[in-house]
């Protein structure tokens, strides 16, 4: 029977969160953020796309029927400034947030649309568009838009086949809940509420799905913060959504934190928060852990060998007794042996042949030299298979990098969390296969030095919790 992860595993992982995110540094994106509200930044190529109330580029900021400012979609490029997104989409109604497929060719965005007989604020719906050079074409409505509800803050999976969004549909548990819709047989499935495992009696907003499948969102319905928004993460495991875990600092603060976007390697991204002064601002974040772009699998050092003499024409154990002598100290009986050498080094072997009838040791004719060398690499020592919530010890003590002046041992656990040190421990929240990378960085001697790294990886299988 499918079930959620145990509360014990979640509690253990909460301790991990407090440690694993110390590597991130935040800074307010002053080129984007203003005294007005900016939110929900996502990358598109070398640009940042976000929503804003700002009218600093010469257009009037749209307002609703009650005179309140509405959001519109902007884009920012380093060295090129900020400007409205594209004419095909920007209007005098509310637009955004926006989300893109992994290849940047498909987008989905929220947009206000007129509703017949509506005396209040026109509701929001979702719309898709396809990229054609610098333009966006084939703009079409999400087939399940409903004039009676608001569809807000869409998040499209990397493959463009799964859509998350916040909406206040009739089956909501609270105000806005998070829904999912999947593209199957040429159509989007009916929106499915993620249920009480994710949604609360409060508000769930700004879903953002990582390329790994992990889902981030903001809520004011969890923990002790009934009046403020915090960021949480969850994942679908065998069709069941796990209990959300609250992100630690610096992603959550004492103020409201609304939206987070992680790059595929989890080492950088964008955050929306009002921590800096009351209005929503966009922050960029990163880590000083270098990118391990081409880690190599750990090569195994073999110590067990089959030793024989292929030149022997015949073997007659009734007339002769055979044995191999290793380094003139150890004798192993047999003309063909399997022997495990104790450590790296150079071993000298010879085949002894004893003539039983003559009771004489014949002159050795077969000599071999075997050299066992350690591979120069970063070595990860850990179990191959672990369980969700289990504390797993990782060691780099078998790393062999002669002549490399080691300064730091850096770990990527494949689930968005990092570690540092020769010996570390980690707990995985979700089952699956994870690539654990150990990066060994050289010691810094001077400030101008470009630090070199050596990185290797090992695959680990994480099984569901046994509880």
Question: Please, what is the average pLDDT of the chain?
Answer: 88
| Domain pair 24-287 / 304-372, same fold | no
Q: How confident is the model at residue 436 (pLDDT cuts 50, 70, 90)?
A: very high
Cβ pair 27, 428 in contact under 8 A? no
Q: Which fold has domain 24-287?
A: Neuraminidase (2.120.10)
Q: Which residue from 264, 262, 260 is spatially nearest to 205, judged by alpha carbons?
A: 260
Q: Per residue, what are the HEC states of 125-162?
A: EEEEEEEECCEEEEEEECCCCCCCCCEEEEEECCCCCE
Cβ pair 418, 411 in contact under 8 A? yes
Q: Which of 71-75, 181-185, 303-307, 338-342 has the lowest mean pLDDT?
A: 71-75
Q: How confident is the model at residue 344 (pLDDT cuts 50, 70, 90)?
A: very high
Q: Which residue from 398, 389, 386 is spatially nearest to 438, judged by alpha carbons?
A: 398
Question: What's the pLDDT score for residue 56?
Answer: 47
Q: Which of 317-326, 384-393, 445-454 has the lowest mean pLDDT?
A: 445-454
Summarised one tens digit per residue, pLDDT across range 383-411 is 999 998 899 999 999 999 999 999 999 99
Interior angle at CA 133, CA 130 and CA 136, nearest 5: 35
* Domain residue extents for the chain: 24-287, 304-372, 376-463
Question: What's the pLDDT score for residue 58?
Answer: 42
Q: Which of 35-44, 92-101, 385-394 has the lowest mean pLDDT?
A: 92-101
pLDDT, greater one: 277 or 209: 209
Summarised one tens digit per residue, pLDDT across range 114-132 is 665 555 567 889 999 999 9
Whose tokens are 């690499």? That residue is 377
CATH code assigned to 376-463: 2.60.40.10
Task: Pick one of 2.40.110.10, 3.40.50.720, 3.90.740.10, 2.60.40.10 as the CATH number of 304-372.
Answer: 2.60.40.10
pLDDT, greater one: 64 or 186: 186
């Amino acid at each position: 029977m499918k079930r959620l992860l145990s509360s014990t595993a979640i509690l253990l992982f909460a301790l991990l969160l407090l440690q694993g995110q110390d590597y991130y540094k935040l800074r307010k994106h002053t080129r984007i953020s203003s005294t007005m509200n900016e939110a929900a930044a996502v990358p598109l190529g070398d640009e940042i796309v976000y929503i804003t109330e700002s009218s600093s580029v010469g257009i009037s900021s749209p307002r609703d029927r009650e005179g309140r400012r509405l959001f519109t979609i902007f884009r920012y490029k380093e060295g090129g400034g900020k400007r409205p997104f594209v004419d095909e989409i920007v209007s005098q109604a509310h637009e955004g947030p926006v989300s893109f497929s992994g290849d940047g060719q498909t987008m989905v965005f929220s947009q206000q649309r007129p509703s017949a007989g509506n005396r209040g604020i026109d509701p929001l719906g979702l719309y898709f568009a396809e990229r054609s050079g610098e333009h966006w074409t084939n703009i079409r409505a999400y087939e399940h838009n409903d004039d009676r509800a608001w569809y807000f803050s869409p998040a499209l999976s990397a493959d463009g086949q799964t859509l998350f969004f916040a909406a206040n549909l009739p089956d909501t548990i609270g105000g806005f809940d998070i829904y999912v819709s999947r593209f199957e047989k040429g159509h989007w499935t009916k929106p499915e509420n993620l249920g009480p495992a994710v949604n609360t009696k409060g508000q769930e907003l700004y879903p953002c799905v990582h390329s790994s499948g992990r889902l981030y969102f903001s809520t004011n319905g969890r923990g002790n913060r009934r009046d403020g928004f915090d960021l949480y993460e969850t994942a679908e495991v065998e069709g069941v959504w796990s209990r959300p875990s609250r992100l630690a600092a610096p992603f959550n603060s004492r103020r409201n934190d609304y939206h987070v976007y992680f790059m595929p390697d989890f080492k950088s991204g964008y955050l929306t928060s009002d921590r800096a002064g009351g209005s929503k601002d966009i922050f960029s974040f990163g880590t000083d852990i270098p990118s391990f772009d081409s880690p190599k699998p750990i090569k195994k050092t073999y110590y067990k060998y089959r030793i024989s003499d292929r030149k022997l024409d015949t073997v007659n154990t009734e007339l002769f007794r055979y044995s191999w002598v290793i380094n003139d100290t150890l004798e192993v009986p047999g003309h063909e042996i399997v022997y495990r050498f104790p450590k790296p080094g150079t071993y000298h072997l010879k085949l002894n042949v004893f003539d039983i009838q003559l009771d004489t040791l014949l002159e050795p004719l077969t000599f071999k030299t075997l050299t066992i060398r350690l591979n120069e690499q970063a070595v990860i020592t850990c179990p191959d298979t672990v369980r969700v919530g289990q504390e797993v010890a990782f060691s780099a003590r078998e790393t062999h990098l002669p002549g490399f002046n080691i300064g730091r041992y850096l770990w990527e656990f494949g689930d968005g969390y990092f570690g540092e040190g020769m010996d570390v421990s980690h707990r995985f929240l979700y089952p699956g296969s994870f690539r654990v990378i150990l990066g060994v960085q050289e010691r810094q001697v001077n400030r101008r030095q470009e630090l070199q790294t050596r990185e290797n990886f090992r695959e680990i299988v994480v099984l569901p919790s046994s509880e």
